[in-house]
Amino acid sequence: WGSLGHITVAYIATNFVKDDTAAFFQGLLKNETEHYLAGVATWADSIRYTKWGRFSKNFHFIDAKDTPPSYCGVDFERDCKEDGCVVSSIQNYTAQVLDAQLWPWRRAQAAKFVVHFVGDIHQPLHVENVAQGGNGIHVKWERSELNLHHVWDSSIAEKLLGGIRRKPYDAGFGWAANLTEEIKTGKYAAASKLWTTDMSLEDPVATAMGWANESNAIVCTHVFPEGPQTIVGQELAGDYYEKAAPVIELQVAKAGYRLAAWLDLIADSVS
């Protein structure tokens, strides 16, 4: 996701974590405000293009070698690169937050990665190999040229919220408030009870693979419903946008709700 998506996921999680969880992560991240998660949600993107941060550039995705739209599916052994992927990174950095032997700054850095990667694994094109997660597919967006990955990372959500005039923190805070109500009492009230059923701190890879397979299924239904070839050069801000926007809302809501539950498991296990 772009900044808006990551910040929204973080504020949704902030709205659902237990009080003890909030206290634990506010202490670790040295931020006692309500922005303790949102303030670190895009840090992983800010370092991935730096010399120091290069090691983490593959940690934002897993390249599912499937053949949408006829077959979608992720396989951890097949698709996670030797130096890591978003699934192994959720496992690795969760373990680091839990490790009381590590220096507090290391555990804080690990927490920043966890907040970011639980967001990214819910973006369908972060769980797809075709054209490097759609980066190599040129499309049109309100008559400008964009790549498909950027459309799913940013353009659809920004259009949904009425353009990019508002700063990501303000827009994300408002969007998170809206999606939080939908989860509590609105259109996601029934479904959200099932979003956190298959989660285990004992098996982070299985947990994250469950999330990854859900995201990847959307590649077949909504990203490439007629295959990767037919989308090239198409204007996506019309009918395609209308079908994709509800899916992106759902994925951002799920990511925030699951991030809260994951941080609760971590904080419970630490204390």
Q: State the number of binding residues for ligand DCM (CB under 6 A).
A: 22
Contact indicator for 214, 197 with CB cutoff of 8 Å: no
The residue within the footprint of ligand DCM, chosen from 59, 61, 117, 195 (CB under 6 A), is 61
Q: How far apart are CA 263 and CA 18, in angstroms?
A: 9
Q: From residue 123 to residue 142, what is the string marking binding to ligand DCM with x (rule CB under 6 A)?
A: --xx-----xx-x-------
Beta bridge partners of residue 138, listed in sequence order: 147
Q: Which of the residues 63, 66, 79, 153 is marked catalytic? A: 153
Q: Choose the stretch contacting ligand DCM; rule: CB under 6 A; options: 27-35, 67-75, 177-185, 249-257.
A: 27-35
* Alpha-carbon span 158 to 111, nearest angstrom: 27
The separation between CA 214 and the C-alpha centre of its own chain, rounded to angstroms, equals 12
Q: Shortest distance, CB of residue 75 to ligand DCM, whole angstroms?
A: 16
Q: Is 120 among the residues that bind Zn ion (CB under 5 A)?
A: yes
Rounded CA separation 29/31 (Å):
6
From 63, 66, 79, 120, the catalytic residue: 120
CA distance 201 to 266: 8
Instruction: State in angstroms the smallest separation of the CB of 147 from Zn ion.
Output: 10
Q: Which is nearer to ligand DCM, 130 or 265 (CB)?
A: 130
The amino acid that residue 214 corresponds to is E
CA-CA-CA-CA dihedral for 230, 236, 239, 244, to nearest 10: 100
Minimum distance of ligand DCM from residue 94's CB (angstroms):
19
The whole-angstrom distance between residue 94's C-alpha and the CA centroid of its chain comes to: 15
Catalytic residue (choose from 116, 122, 222, 258): 116
- The answer to the question of residue 26 lying near ligand DCM (CB under 6 A) is no
- Torsion over CA of 89, 95, 100 and 101, rounded to 10 degrees? -70
CB-count burial class (<10 Å; 0-12, 13-18, 19+) for 243: exposed
Q: How far is the CB of 200 from ligand DCM (least distance, A)?
A: 26
Site for ligand DCM in 186-215 (CB under 6 A): none
Q: Can 195 be counted among the known catalytic residues?
A: no
Q: Known catalytic residue: 60?
A: yes
- Residues belonging to the active site: 1, 6, 45, 48, 60, 116, 120, 126, 149, 153
Interface with ligand DCM by CB under 6 A: which residues? 1-3, 31, 33, 35, 39, 45-46, 49, 57, 60-61, 63, 125-126, 132-133, 135, 149, 153, 169
